[in-house]
Amino acid sequence: MDGARVQLGEPIGDAVSRIRFAPGSNNLLISSWDSVLRVFDVDGCVLRVRAPSDGALLDCCFEDEKAALSASSDGCIRRYDFCSETQTIVGNHDDSVTFIDHSKETGQFISAGLDKKLMFWDLHMKNGHAGCTQVVYSDIWSISLCQTYLVAVVGKQINVYDLRNLRVPVQIKESSMSYQIRCVRSFSSCEGYASGSVDGCVALEYFDPSKSHEMGCVFRCHPKSKSGRCHLVTVNDIGFHPCSDTFVTGDNEGYAIIWDIQSKKRLYELPRYPCSVASLSYNHSGQLLAVSSGCIYQEAREVEEAPQIFIHAMENIAKPSRLS
């Protein structure tokens, strides 16, 4: 099913790092390497916010419907107030900030950077002061929030932190993947998480060890074949449908594929995109899927083309079956 291309009124000047739908509306948040944070109203087909910054934006998240946060290559975390149309620096790392997320359950936002720090911030505290800092002494490849838990890929390990008690991780697991994990995303049910690797595999894991037999499996999503020989295709992002037992993966070769968790089978392959699938996001009802396609600066052979964002209506693609 072909998706409608988002018309922003101006081209995005560099690679898109992240797209995220708002928690309760069809506003789409877009961060990009051209240092601009954008909010696109999908229902109204209009660009609502265009907020320039001083550094390349490597990640973004909504705080709520009225504010958003961005992670920047200049080491700053910025908060954008959509009502007042102002932005303020609310935190800093010693190097580029690569990931940002916000917990509505605790009111904290969590950041990770190239300085190998996980930082936990409280907006009620003074600007620039982190409530807690975890120095992990290894590269942080991805983070994902799951209610009061944070899942972080630290080197070859997956660390799980309880936001209510940050002294030590509540769980540390060695990755079951043969290759480096590229992204981690929490289930919509918040019972576990999925990790996608650079060899095209996705592993599903429960937080509760007693349930590991139910979903401790690996999907071989994106290994392709060229001239009879397999090559590695990175899973760049994973999105879980908020109302069904399905998820979607996006890879370096421009493929986005929807999978059924229970049957462990492919449900639907969307038409191939012009470039790598950089980011994916379902809206709050699961009726829309946004897909960003463009250069992701991971491979020397990548062709630099202007990034594009597509919106797919999902009613004719996946048949929802409520997560148990």
Q: How confident is the model at residue 214 (pLDDT cuts 50, 70, 90)?
A: low
76: in domain: yes
Pick the more confident residue, 226 or 271.
271
Residue range 305-321, pLDDT digits in tens: 789 999 999 875 655 44
Mean pLDDT is lowest, of 52-61, 98-107, 194-203, 209-218, for 209-218
127: tokens are 């600007």
| Buried residues in 287-315 as b, exposed as e (16+ CB within 10 A) | bbbbbbbbbbeeeeeeeeeebbbbbbebe
Please say if the pLDDT value at position 64 is more than 90: yes
320: in domain: no
User: Quick one: pLDDT at residue 321?
Assistant: 43
Rounded Cα distance, 288 and 281, in Å: 8
User: Quick one: pLDDT at residue 5?
Assistant: 81
288: in domain: yes
Rounded Cα distance, 274 and 295, in Å: 10
276: in domain: yes
Pick the more confident residue, 176 or 139.
139
234: in domain: yes
Give mean pLDDT, residues 197-224. Answer: 74
293: in domain: yes
323: in domain: no
As a residue count, the chain comes to: 324
Amino acid identity at 232: L
162: tokens are 């309880």
Range of the domain at 60: 4-298+305-313
115: CATH? 2.130.10.10
What is the tally of structural domains in the chain? 1
Rounded Cα distance, 21 and 34, in Å: 20
319: in domain: no
